[in-house]
């Protein structure tokens, strides 16, 4: 799992980095908000941990821009020494997934990361039920349908995984691009339509509805 860590306190940054590496995660460290924002735009991460009070731009500003300008729904946990509810409220209003007040135990951070992993199907080993006869296993890129095993291309897997974690919500092509591809790999809309067509042929056309001029909805 690839984690972005924005923390300008060197001692805490080193502690968290060492702990996350010990858990087997790949960690990218950033010490200012601008650096973190650029990393989130140019690379794909599974989870981001953002301190609020950071140089250049704050962690909350990074959160705002990632969500609003870049339509990126990467799971984000805010880390903060602030004890007031103002910053908590602002974080959740701008789309944060979880919020931890310093000081915190490493075990608490571990549990919050695991909770997001379960919710967003990150490194998910178990099968996901699509309907009574169809199951999806993201880790192996496989669909299990009526006793048949069907292999998916990696991007088909990524699209279906994203749909599964955002059920019943209209998802635009732009959102899929920002959350699945990095900038220099951006496909055309026609390529996305091919991936969607392939998924429909496997799981059923009724599972993925086209919302004209907007995007798709997975049911």
With a cut of 80, say whether residue 102 has pLDDT above it.
yes
Residues 21, 66 within the same domain? yes
Q: Each residue of 113-167: pLDDT tens digit?
A: 999 998 898 876 678 899 989 999 998 999 999 889 999 999 999 999 999 999 9
Counting every residue written for the chain, the total comes to 219
Percentage of the residues of the chain whose pLDDT score is greater than 90:
85
- 170: Cβ–Cβ under 8 A, 6 or more apart, which residues? 211, 214, 215, 216, 217
Report the pLDDT value the prediction gives residue 93, as an integer from 0 to 100: 97
Report the pLDDT value the prediction gives residue 124, as an integer from 0 to 100: 66
Contact between residue 209 and residue 219 where contact means Cβ atoms under 8 Å apart: yes
Q: What gap in Å lies between CA 18 and CA 109, rounded to an integer?
A: 13
Report the pLDDT value the prediction gives residue 98, as an integer from 0 to 100: 97
Q: For 7-29, what is the mean pLDDT?
A: 95
Q: How many domains does the chain have?
A: 2
Q: Each residue of 105-114: pLDDT tens digit?
A: 999 999 999 9
Residues 137, 96 within the same domain? no
Residues 101, 137 within the same domain? no
Q: For 16-23, what is the mean pLDDT?
A: 95
Residues 73, 168 within the same domain? no
Percentage of the residues of the chain whose pLDDT score is greater than 70:
99
Q: What gap in Å lies between CA 174 and CA 138, rounded to an integer?
A: 22
Whole-model pTM: value is 0.82
Q: Sort 115 into a burial class: Cβ within 10 Å, 0-12 / 13-18 / 19+.
A: middle
CB atoms within 10 A of CB 79: 23
Can you give the CATH number for the domain in which 87 is found?
A: 3.40.50.2300
With a cut of 70, say whether residue 89 has pLDDT above it.
yes
Q: Domain residues for 26? A: 2-119
Instruction: Mean pLDDT check: name the lowest of 62-66, 89-93, 123-127, 196-200.
Output: 123-127
Residues 114, 12 within the same domain? yes
Can you give the CATH number for the domain in which 210 is found?
A: 1.10.10.10
With a cut of 80, say whether residue 184 has pLDDT above it.
no
Q: What is the CA radius of gyration of the chain?
A: 18
């Amino acid at each position: 799992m690839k984690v972005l860590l924005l923390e300008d306190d060197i001692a805490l940054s080193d502690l968290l980095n060492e702990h996350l590496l010990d858990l087997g995660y790949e960690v990218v460290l950033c010490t200012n908000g601008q650096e973190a924002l650029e990393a989130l735009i140019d690379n794909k991460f599974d989870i981001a941990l953002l301190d609020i009070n950071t140089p250049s731009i704050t962690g909350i500003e990074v959160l705002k821009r990632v969500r609003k300008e870049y339509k990126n729904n990467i799971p984000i946990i805010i880390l903060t020494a602030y004890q007031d509810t103002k910053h908590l409220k602002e974080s959740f209003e701008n789309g944060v997934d979880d919020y931890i007040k310093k000081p915190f135990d490493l075990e608490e951070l571990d549990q919050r990361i695991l909770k997001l992993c379960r919710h967003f199907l990150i490194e998910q080993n178990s099968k996901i039920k699509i309907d009574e006869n169809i199951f999806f296993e993201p880790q192996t890129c496989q669909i299990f349908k009526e006793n048949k095993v069907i292999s998916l291309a990696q991007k088909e897997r990524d699209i279906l995984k994203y749909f599964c974690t955002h059920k019943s919500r209209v998802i635009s092509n732009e959102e899929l691009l920002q959350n699945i591809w990095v900038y220099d790999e951006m496909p055309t809309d026609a390529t996305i339509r091919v991936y969607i067509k392939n998924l429909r042929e496997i799981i059923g056309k009724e599972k993925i509805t086209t919302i004209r001029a907007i995007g798709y909805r997975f049911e």
